[in-house]
Amino acid sequence: MLRLAITLPDGSSVERTFLKGPVTVGRAEDVTLSLKDLSLSRRHALFETGPHGWTVQDLGSRNGTFVNGHRLTAPQALRMGDALQLGQVRIQVLECGAPAEVSDREIGETTLLKPVAKVLKDSGVDALPVTAEASKETLHRYAERLSLLAKVHEALASQVTEEGLLTLVLDQIFDQLHPDQAAIFLKGEDGSFACAASRCQKDCYDKLLLSRSLVREVVDKKAAALVVDAFTDARFQQAMSLRAVGVRSILAVPLLTEDVALGLLVCASRLAVRSFTQEDLEFVVPLASVAAMRLRNLRLALEAAEKKRLEQELALARRIQVGLFREEIPQLPGYAILGGNVPSRVVSGDFYQLLSSDNGCTALVADVSGKGIGAALLAASLEALFAGPLHLNLPPSEVCNRVSQLFYARTDASKFATAFLAQLDAASGVVTYCNAGHCPAVLVTAQGEVKALTSTGPPLGMFADQQYSQEQVALQPGDTLVLYSDGVTETTDAHGDEFGLERFSELLRSYRTLPLEDLWEQVEQELSTYSQSPTPGDDRTLVFIRRETKPA
């Protein structure tokens, strides 16, 4: 932990605490500690944690960084009480404990290993462990302890960040127990324990190394431990006696909530300074229980807030995407036309357009890379790029040429889009199309023949001056042209196998005589059955254009 007292040139002061590095100081907006003073450079100095504690280095600032009056020319280790000068800003180091860590060395002599539930009962938190005949002194001691725990509980409940909570827990530990060192280890997703916060007294620079076997004892057995640990740090063997440094009293308590260990709280002191007692244990265990409960609640609140944020983002992205769909479907004599989108759990960049033209209609299905609100916004941008060329009734290849060039200029190299653009001449039934790296459209003839309309160029926005070609196909009476997004053919079953173009083509061929609304329903039913899920994993966009059979 690094705790700094900062005094600005106008005399105002503030304290800041950092549980971990790196911490960049300067007047820029994007640094860790931004101070609005012109004597500072934009990125003035850097505080970092290393294996032996915190260091500070100057980042080539204009006015320099000074430690105890000496200008820095290289990184320097910090000590509690150091006075720093950054430009005209003065900083006092209030705390700079070396980071604690879990090591592989063996556990020391355990003098007490007691289940947390038993400690809570003995401490009077669960029930008063004394009888009516107990002395006034005993009753007074328990009353004071419960009063203190109530105040601690109230103080912890006021914290709205994990960092603030851990800092306050260490405050209480040092106020009540006065240890040499204390640290809070939190359990990661991989099951390992990492130091999330630590603190030490001014005259204690030894790193707090915690035995891995002690961690297992405390966490697995859900027990609090009082340990006499005879570890000696080689750096201090020559300078200080074994009793002064090597032999330590250690108190370790799990952070338990609903029988699950979120981490553990550890206190350590040289025996020459103090030895922890049963009464200390009975204070720390309830404190750890309250801290664990509050930590769990903070995490649940963060999860709920994140879930709400994602839901709001999803709803916004969906509104953007739906706004790209044209509700009015062109009405052409002799043709049946249908288009729609089935939303998934995550918003994709799918969109489609069905537009009337002087001699027929235009159909467009596009899909931008990515998911979520970013993809929805990119799809909206792509739709706007298409609007102008489509309004001019340009040929599909020319439309794609212009859109691709603009899309390339306005997005980074990782962004691209696929599109299938088709223009139908109603009188002749001729469809002129351009496929920019999109899924092959499927043409199903009245006789049951199937043809895939494959790519005529790469995805939009991949190359600066890409030129697209176009092809033509004629719709005869009874023929159906199907445009779709990859959410259709890439629907997967329980084994991860895709539905695929071949299966999709056979489905369209088998039900080619159904009215388009019924064909749509059949496709959706088949995909839901295949995936065994009513909600698709990706958006499904479908556009059908059928030339009606001539009346007899």
Largest interatomic CA distance in the chain: 110
pLDDT digits (tens, 9 = 90+) for 160-179: 788 888 888 888 888 888 88
Token pair for 43:
């990125």
In our burial notation (b when 16+ CB lie closer than 10 A, e otherwise), range 213-237 reads ebbebbbeeebbbbbebebeeeeee
* Residue 144 token pair: 């004071």
Q: Is the pLDDT of residue 156 over 60?
A: yes
- Do the beta carbons of residue 265 and residue 288 sit within 8 Å? yes
**Averaged pLDDT for residues 179-203:** 83
Cα four-point dihedral sign 177, 178, 181, 184: positive
- Provide the sign of the torsion angle of the four alpha carbons 206, 211, 212, 218, taken in this order: negative
pTM exceeds 0.85, yes or no: no
Distance of alpha carbon 351 from alpha carbon 330, whole angstroms = 17
pLDDT greater at residue 108 or residue 311: 311
Bridge partners (DSSP) of residue 541 are 341
Least confident of 52-66, 167-181, 344-358, 394-408: 344-358
Domains of the chain: 2-96 (2.60.200.20), 112-125+141-299 (3.30.450.40), 327-547 (3.60.40.10)
Terminal-to-terminal C-alpha distance of the chain: 87
Please report the pLDDT score of residue 50 as a whole number: 75
317 CB-contact burial (10 Å; exposed 0-12 / middle 13-18 / buried 19+): buried
Please answer whether residues 185 and 194 qualify as being in contact, where contact means their C-beta atoms are separated by less than 8 angstroms. yes
Q: Using CB atoms within 10 A of its CB, is residue 69 exposed (0-12), middle (13-18) or buried (19+)?
A: exposed
pLDDT band at 539 (very low <50, low <70, confident <90, very high): confident
Asked if 125 and 286 touch (Cβ cutoff 8 Å), the reply is yes
User: In DSSP terms, which residues pair with 83 in a beta bridge?
Assistant: 92
The DSSP annotation for 16-84 comes to EEESSS-EEEESSTTSSEE---TTS-TT-EEEEEETTEEEEEE-S-SS-EEETTEE-SS-EE--TT-EE
Distance of CA 250 to the CA centre of its chain: 36
- Which pair of structure tokens corresponds to residue 276? 């922890």
- Mean pLDDT for 518-534 is 91
Residue range 306-319, pLDDT digits in tens: 888 777 776 776 67
Taking only the tens place, the pLDDT of each residue in 351-400 is 888 999 889 999 999 998 877 677 778 888 888 899 889 989 899 999 99
pLDDT, residue 236, reads 30
